[in-house]
Structure 1
């Protein structure tokens, strides 16, 4: 990782078992969002809030905070903040029961995270489309455009657990703000697995999936249209297969897969990232990156993130007000146990600048890590990011997981003297 021009890390906060009620996992799936000094952090299977910019935290149980549904709260969660309507949005996934499950959208407006009053909307597969009976949702994420929130999820058959379709729900932000009955649009495909929406969209949402290991399909969904355009982009071939990255005590990448986990739109450039397996000139799993011109929908370049000794996995990106791209990712291999890394793309030198946010002390005994991390824009200033990650500290089991939130920016930026987030 580069030693000069690294991102400027202002603060890294580590959550304790008291903050998470010990409901952590080596498949941690952390996300974070903030509205001023109020921060919501989620993961498998916890949620925690701070009302003072990260100085102190209190546990929120996703199992009991909201009314029960299906077999109860399951696992996957995503949170995002919409500054245009001052909305904190929280997407939660519930356990499959009776051949179905629920995606719940919880929303609150203003700096009200200190109370437990949320507006709730529930979505089931058959409730969206009656022909989707005996199916269930899994692996969700959310993104924003100017007027909509987009919830992406995969759908599987309940009996066989085979992939059925990928779905994007488009929901009006105005209706969420009004706590009204929701109207929504649907895009679904049975041809492309695990669609990933970009962060930074405005009047059109872009999302993508692999066609093959040498081609990705990009979808464009204009805000003012029910129709979705498709573009197939040829890229340099890469490999998937069985991922592996050994540290001194074990392998942390046994469940890694090549789903696209990061997407962005900034300064007229679309970008997508995923974890690729090792190949002849890259001996460790690495981050495949493609950048595409939004106007011509043609490939610009492929600035991958790779290292001879260290593997990288599970990238997440966010775009700030100026179009800069922030990155959250895991790294590990050799003497480095799985660790949380932040970074940003240097448009001048056209490389990724990385910095170690929190170094792990151990590798999971069961070899399981993932399935995603998270990066979010701090809208209060428009140029910094919050990245959610986790590491093992002092042991190699689930109880040794320590979630982290890192506040950072590109090296050229200094944080204002007064800011809702805390520097310690």
Structure 2
């Protein structure tokens, strides 16, 4: 009897040691970096579907103002630094336009603007656009909420296309007939991938709960070549649907997406509502041939403090995202294309103030919505660096809401420097970054303040000036959720950006959001091929 007891004790000890070993293999640490942790990504599969000819009846999405989420609350950490600006302020300059609304570039300017287009029509409602654009030569696509605009002449003229007539867009049932999503809603993202000549179109569907963020939902990824976009007037696409339950979103829908292009993959980030950020990796090869594929994804529970965050642009062979352990410590995530394991580690940064607001002359706090809070939404890879940016508040030497920027050295994850995008007269928010083929970082953002309404601007980091094409005549209390900036194709030295202004309608009144597309670069950059490959 004692021998049997001894045997079972040894057996249980071996089982415990095996469990601990397996846990350690799945959660590696580095003795040189005790904060380093890892997790093996999970995988799932999706089938390809094809559409052409806009054959579906129009579908009216649910009310988009119901798509409201709560930002992650960043804990206060130990005070580091002096909470003061350490770089010169950012100035604002107006883009000079002629009587037809086209950019005119004065001699000696640091930036030339080659194209500007604004929607120019009022819809009488506050739609708070989630604006982004992508282009390949003469083809430009930009989206906002549930609408998309297409240009086949380099942005000189645009037509509106209805996604709900191109794709099946109503409520979605699974194979057993159970409803899993309440239909297309919003939060579109468009990217262009030069390596496979494909426009990537991301669409979010509403959850099957009481509102868009409740219950389960699907996200849709579609792809089309430049020739297909031209020949079909953007109605011929291959698409793949991913369900929220496939990627472990069990308490709420997937929301607030971002899309990034890597060397061999497309990356999608999305909040599993109520849990944390999920990052998915989809293969470019299978997307280019229009087949089904296996994709990989991170666990939402690991991304709790990255909730509301986005992924790095121009990211090459590794994707990056981040969250805040506190307002003086960041958690930096990374995932190499060659591995199915992702990593994270913590790094101290200078403290920053969290709560932000900004009132305009019309009495509107254009930052009152509060989402995505202080989430890290501006990210780009630049040579051996990764740049991170997020919304921060006034106080501690800042008269207005401002943007914090941290540059990190990729080789050892050390903080190179921390800077701020600020001005004593204006507030800045909603940063978006991209890196061109010259290694310069472009930025797109929102700005406004006591003496001016909320507007959009774009420019080059390091110039200490951003440019706006038009001023708003009014504001809304939910300026976001995001603007965009992309490396332009085929000339990778240039950027295209998308944003909007809010304009008052003529009597009987109301407002409309005037969406616009901007193409810009350094003087003379339009006259060379620019290059569009690799990570600078």
TM-score of the two chains, using structure 2 as the length reference? 0.71
Instruction: Give the Cα–Cα distance (whole angstroms) in 1 for the partners of residues 362 and 162 of structure 2.
Output: 33
Q: Report the CA distance shift for 1:286/1:133 in structure 2 as closer, same or farther (over 3 A).
A: closer
**What are the Cα deviations for residues 8-40 of structure 1, in whole angstroms up to 9, with x where unaligned?**
32222101349xxx4974521101001211111
Match of 1:422 in 2: none
**Shift of residue 399 of structure 1?**
4.4
Q: Report the CA distance shift for 1:359/1:58 in structure 2 as closer, same or farther (over 3 A).
A: same
Instruction: Give the Cα–Cα distance (whole angstroms) in 1 for the partners of residues 524 and 397 of structure 2.
Output: 35
**Shift of residue 392 of structure 1?**
1.1
Match of 1:296 in 2: 412
Match of 1:11 in 2: 115
Match of 2:98 in 1: none
Instruction: Give the Cα–Cα distance (whole angstroms) in 1 for the partners of residues 393 and 226 of structure 2.
Output: 43
* 2:279 and 2:297 in contact (8 A); partners too: yes
**Shift of residue 194 of structure 1?**
2.9
**Shift of residue 395 of structure 1?**
4.5
Matched, 1:167 2:284: no
Instruction: Give the Cα–Cα distance (whole angstroms) in 1 for the partners of residues 514 and 438 of structure 2.
Output: 32
> 1:184-263 residue pairs with structure 2 within 5 A?
184-190=295-301, 191-192=304-305, 193-241=307-355, 243-250=356-363, 251-256=365-370, 257-263=373-379
Match of 2:269 in 1: 152
Instruction: Give the Cα–Cα distance (whole angstroms) in 1 for the partners of residues 430 and 110 of structure 2.
Output: 20
Match of 1:35 in 2: 136
What secondary structure is seen at the aligned counterpart in 2 of 1:177?
helix
Among 115, 124, 130, the residue aligned to 2:243: 124
* 2:487 and 2:494 in contact (8 A); partners too: yes
- RMSD of the TM alignment (CA)? 2.2
Q: Report the CA distance shift for 1:418/1:321 in structure 2 as closer, same or farther (over 3 A).
A: closer
**Shift of residue 331 of structure 1?**
0.7
* 2:257 and 2:310 in contact (8 A); partners too: no
**Shift of residue 335 of structure 1?**
1.9
**Shift of residue 398 of structure 1?**
7.2
* 1:342 and 1:357 in contact (8 A); partners too: no
**Shift of residue 106 of structure 1?**
0.9
Among 465, 470, 476, the residue aligned to 1:358: 470
Q: Report the CA distance shift for 1:304/1:7 in structure 2 as closer, same or farther (over 3 A).
A: farther
**Shift of residue 246 of structure 1?**
1.3
In terms of fraction of residues, the more strand-rich structure is 1
Q: Report the CA distance shift for 1:55/1:268 in structure 2 as closer, same or farther (over 3 A).
A: same
Instruction: Give the Cα–Cα distance (whole angstroms) in 2 for the partners of residues 143 and 25 of structure 1.
Output: 28
**What are the Cα deviations for residues 293-346 of structure 1, in whole angstroms up to 9, with x where unaligned?**
111211111121001110001011111112111110111012221111111123
Instruction: Give the Cα–Cα distance (whole angstroms) in 2 for the partners of residues 276 and 26 of structure 1.
Output: 25
> 1:17-416 residue pairs with structure 2 within 5 A?
17=121, 22=123, 25-68=126-169, 69=172, 70-98=181-209, 99-114=215-230, 115=232, 116-129=235-248, 132-133=249-250, 135-156=252-273, 163-190=274-301, 191-192=304-305, 193-241=307-355, 243-250=356-363, 251-256=365-370, 257-346=373-462, 352-364=464-476, 367-395=477-505, 399-410=511-522, 412-416=523-527
Q: Report the CA distance shift for 1:202/1:369 in structure 2 as closer, same or farther (over 3 A).
A: same
Q: Report the CA distance shift for 1:6/1:282 in structure 2 as closer, same or farther (over 3 A).
A: farther
Instruction: Give the Cα–Cα distance (whole angstroms) in 2 for the partners of residues 37 and 25 of structure 1.
Output: 30
Match of 2:26 in 1: none
Aligned residues: 400
* 1:35 and 1:111 in contact (8 A); partners too: no
What secondary structure is seen at the aligned counterpart in 2 of 1:381?
coil
Instruction: Give the Cα–Cα distance (whole angstroms) in 2 for the partners of residues 151 and 57 of structure 1.
Output: 27
Q: Report the CA distance shift for 1:5/1:258 in structure 2 as closer, same or farther (over 3 A).
A: farther
TM-score of the two chains, using structure 1 as the length reference? 0.89
What secondary structure is seen at the aligned counterpart in 1 of 2:287?
helix
**What are the Cα deviations for residues 174-212 of structure 1, in whole angstroms up to 9, with x where unaligned?**
010011112101112423323421111111111112221
**What are the Cα deviations for residues 201-232 of structure 1, in whole angstroms up to 9, with x where unaligned?**
11111111222111111111111111112121
Instruction: Give the Cα–Cα distance (whole angstroms) in 2 for the partners of residues 417 and 108 of structure 1.
Output: 27
* 1:7 and 1:353 in contact (8 A); partners too: no
Rg larger in structure: 2
**Shift of residue 6 of structure 1?**
4.8
Instruction: Give the Cα–Cα distance (whole angstroms) in 2 for the partners of residues 24 and 404 of structure 1.
Output: 17
Gaps of 5+ in 2: 1-89, 94-107, 173-180, 210-214, 531-536
Gaps of 5+ in 1: 157-162, 420-424
What secondary structure is seen at the aligned counterpart in 1 of 2:286?
helix
* 1:145 and 1:204 in contact (8 A); partners too: yes
Instruction: Give the Cα–Cα distance (whole angstroms) in 2 for the partners of residues 5 and 216 of structure 1.
Output: 37
